Amino acid sequence: MFDKLKDVAVRYEQINEKLMDPAVITDNNQYKNLMKEHKNLTPIVEKFREYEKAREAFEEAKMLLDEGGLDKDFKEIVEEQLSSGREDMEKLGEELKILLLPKDPNDDKNVIIEIRGGAGGDEAALFANSLYRMYSMYAESKRWKTEILSASETELGGFKEISFSIEGEGAYSKLKFESGVHRVQRVPETETQGRIHTSTVTVAVLPEAEEVELEIAPGDLQIDTYRASGAGGQHVNKTESAIRITHLPTGLVVECQDERSQHKNKDKAMKILRSRLYEKMMQEQNDKIASERKLQVGTGDRSERIRTYNYPQGRMTDHRIGLTLYRLEAILNGDLDEIMDALRTFDQAEKLKSQGEE
């Protein structure tokens, strides 16, 4: 590990020198890539420097004790320095192991979240709206930008499905563990006898793919236009502004009708299609790596029931990590940091354990 850390520190200094080179500064792409690498390496180098200071303090204390001849009071001070140095080295060493874990290349990306009502009809659609609100409020607390890309509303104010983008630093790193089946247990507003119903909603979190990462041949697309309609099927637009894009090689279909402009609907539909294709490509790459152990905190299995929201008890349970919190209202109002941090910590622990077994 320490050989790797020394290599990182050398690379960090090389980047610092390059960032002062006028030829690099005027080359936008090179400068941008170097700044990104510099940003990723900075926390590792800073932590390594802390470790080196702790190691120096530990070795200095050890040397003084080995030499002997210390008076009682000074010996106690040196022994304390030795002990604290050892503790600091152990603590910083564990933190460095986490920082050196392979970084998900998508962590810095914006995301597209797709929410679909599952079992439960209107109640599932209403909960899909609740989850959209929860993620929107979480994004707002992070000062991220949210934009609806496509939505199919119900007459009761729910969503059969909704796709929306969240733009902000580290959005995917925070939200990537939200993919899966979310279950809700509550008494529907339409239920007269007060019985608790169980409904499900499916969430998919896709890293937003840029055009340079994924080339789509125009000949692979079938683009159809049609009239947009609202909840209940009534027409809300007399012009054919709605767009349906079919990616012929994969059969993926994306529809968008939220905007009055056909051009804007096409842009949004392409944004969704590009991210779905990128996710499909990433999934296929991961499936080829047979030796890679699937971690318990998945980021792609949409059929896995990951979480239950129990309204009568005010309880949220994440089944993957056994986390139960009794503050459902705050969670549904976007207070998700405790959940996100617990999932990330668990994922890191699994990766460290996996590395130790290799």
Write the DSSP string, 307-345.
Answer: EEEETTTTEEEETTTTEEES-HHHHHTT--HHHHHHHHH
Range among 22-36, 64-78, 291-305 rated most confident: 22-36
Please identify which residue in the block is written with the tokens 């999934």: 283
Distances (CA, A) of 335 to 181, 204, 297, 331, 348: 20, 20, 20, 5, 22
203-231 exposure pattern, b = at least 16 Cβ within 10 A, e = fewer: bbbbbbbeeeeeebeeeeeeeeeeebeeb
Contact by Cβ (8 Å): 236, 229? yes
| pLDDT bucket at 228, cuts 50 / 70 / 90 | low
Contact by Cβ (8 Å): 297, 347? yes
Amino acid identity of 335? D
Computed over every residue of the chain, the mean pLDDT equals: 82
Amino acid identity of 150? S
45-62 per-position pLDDT tens digit: 898 898 898 888 888 888
| pLDDT bucket at 3, cuts 50 / 70 / 90 | confident
pTM of the model: 0.71
pLDDT at 213 (0 to 100): 61
Q: Is the pLDDT of residue 209 over 80?
A: no
Structural domain spans, the chain = 2-99, 103-287+298-358
CATH 3.50.50.60 fits 103-287+298-358, yes or no: no
Please identify which residue in the block is written with the tokens 């993620």: 135
Interatomic CA distance for residues 84 and 60, integer angstroms: 12
Q: Of the given ranges (69-83, 128-142, 156-170, 304-318), which has the lowest mean pLDDT?
A: 69-83
Instruction: Give the pLDDT mean for 293-305.
Output: 51
pLDDT at 279 (0 to 100): 79
pLDDT at 294 (0 to 100): 46
**Dihedral Cα 108, 308, 348, 344, nearest 10 deg:** 40
